[in-house]
Chains A and B, each alone.
Chain A
């Protein structure tokens, strides 16, 4: 599969979105809403539940399934209040030393008048800053598109995993081709150059693990659940200060 094939696959209709992962992996999920500042951003679905008997906080960027659902979730493009909700719930998780599991799938944070008026930059900046120093284990799984700062806001984790046909990039290949080469038809070439596929990211050290997709079967979710629970339990045994220091080093190497 070419890099561009993977880009297309990562955006494919019918691909499981965050809520699908949550319903298959998290038991007893209770959704928690709102940033307590402005609104509840439906592009980010978050709450608490159990994974393999362990309480966790779950935060997912949700694209929506059918057309109406996509509109309701703003196609997975979060506003500042979405990132502020995420930070609020991460801090709540930290208070109870509960691990945080994120599912990331976004073409990018929303760009529009309201998003700018309410400080999109500040919201993402603070989400990165708070997540990277969070005194509780964090694991982010990229399950489709990992679009730039909007994805990074929920990816400043102890470990970042990515499913086989997902991407993670500083800019969309379309954006790259049109800005750099003034030629949006060179999108396939840009997809290659950006080294944005799961395998490329693994060799660059930007992700710890590539998850084979195997058709998104029950076995796929069961394995992911076991692996995630195991990793979070292992991270939970590390003293908070060491955990934060290890995380610092993880990002310091870039």
Chain B
């Protein structure tokens, strides 16, 4: 399946995270330049300037004017780096396990709006001649929060990769656990970790790509259990969200705290990669680990 950048970038990003730290959806309609029809342009969330959608698309969702990284959905992520993507476990879907008030309706709304059953897409794809198992998390689904479906799909892709001796590349994006699924969502951290452990013990490579944001229960499980941890430039990565920390310690956090650069400096990410270079870097790492030796 070929990824259609244009089709994707014509959709307006919506921020659904309960307690989103970085971006508040802007209420006022974007100021339109009279010369540009509304559907061809969008306002950058970073600088507020009007940017042609084509320009965003050609630039990997990065604002050509200020360099702001827009969030991109799970399939777009995979499409940017992998070829011949074949989806697996697409049928996975779960309901309101704990009968949490309002959650059934919320799931229905999100499914309707996104066309996805939940917040993770899995499958296999090719990069640099290496067949790879891939998972990718979706910000549109309660900011990639992990409930049963997300945990199950990620566990299944690690099990599939172990069985078929494939490396795993995971594009991580999550505000944390899906609280409407209570203890079941907490158990996903243990379940996914166990699957990561088995994959690792089989001598197979796992690369996690931590994108904005990677926090909470997901960061405290499979995000940080990889052989190689890539932090996407500028991404917020941490255990507790900055607002929670500020409330706890009653102190303002320093500039750049928990950003990719900070995470690398403190020794918790192997490398920072810009979005436009992601494919190339992943390709090089996959080839080095899984490809044939260079004569």
Contacts and interface: CB of A to CB of B under 8 A. Distances in A.
A160 to B, nearest CB: 10
A148 B146 CA distance: 13
Secondary structure of the B side of the interface?
helix
B198 A121 contact: no
A121 B238 contact: yes
Contacts of B182: 169-170, 193-196
A21 to B, nearest CB: 23
Contacts of A155: 190
A152 B190 contact: yes
Interface string B229-257: 00000000111100011001101010001
A116 B245 contact: yes
Interface in B179-214: 179-191, 193-194, 196-198, 201
B223 A201 contact: no
A251 to B, nearest CB: 4
Given A115-B239, A121-B238, A254-B184, A128 B244 contact: no
A248 B191 CA distance: 8
A237 interface: no
Interface residues of A, number: 45
Interface stretch (A9-17, A88-96, A105-113, A214-222): A105-113
B177 A128 contact: no
B194 A132 contact: yes
B93 to A, nearest CB: 16
A179 interface: yes
Interface residues of B, number: 53
B183 A111 contact: no
Contacts of B186: 148-149, 152, 168-170
A136 to B, nearest CB: 15
B136 interface: no
A133 to B, nearest CB: 5
A235 interface: no
B29 interface: no
B158 to A, nearest CB: 11
B220 A195 contact: no
Given A116-B240, A254-B191, A133 B220 contact: no
A248 B194 contact: yes
Contacts of B196: 129
A63 B201 CA distance: 36
Contact of B253 (A113, A126, A128, A169): A113
Contact of A133 (B180, B201, B245): B201
Contacts of A121: 215, 219-220, 223-224, 237-239, 268
A155 B216 CA distance: 17
A206 interface: yes
A180 B175 CA distance: 13
A206 B183 contact: yes
A252 B189 contact: no
21 contacts: A109-B239, A118-B266, A119-B267, A124-B220, A125-B224, A129-B225, A132-B194, A133-B198, A148-B217, A149-B221, A152-B186, A156-B193, A169-B186, A170-B183, A175-B179, A193-B98, A248-B198, A251-B190, A251-B194, A254-B151, A254-B184
Interface of B: 18-19, 98, 100-101, 148, 151, 155, 177, 179-191, 193-194, 196-198, 201, 215-217, 219-225, 237-240, 244-245, 248-249, 251, 253, 257-258, 266-268
Closest 9 CB pairs of A and B: A111-B240, A254-B187, A120-B239, A121-B219, A124-B220, A125-B224, A170-B186, A122-B224, A149-B220
Given A116-B240, A125-B221, 8 more contacts: A116-B245, A121-B238, A132-B197, A156-B193, A168-B183, A171-B177, A194-B98, A248-B194
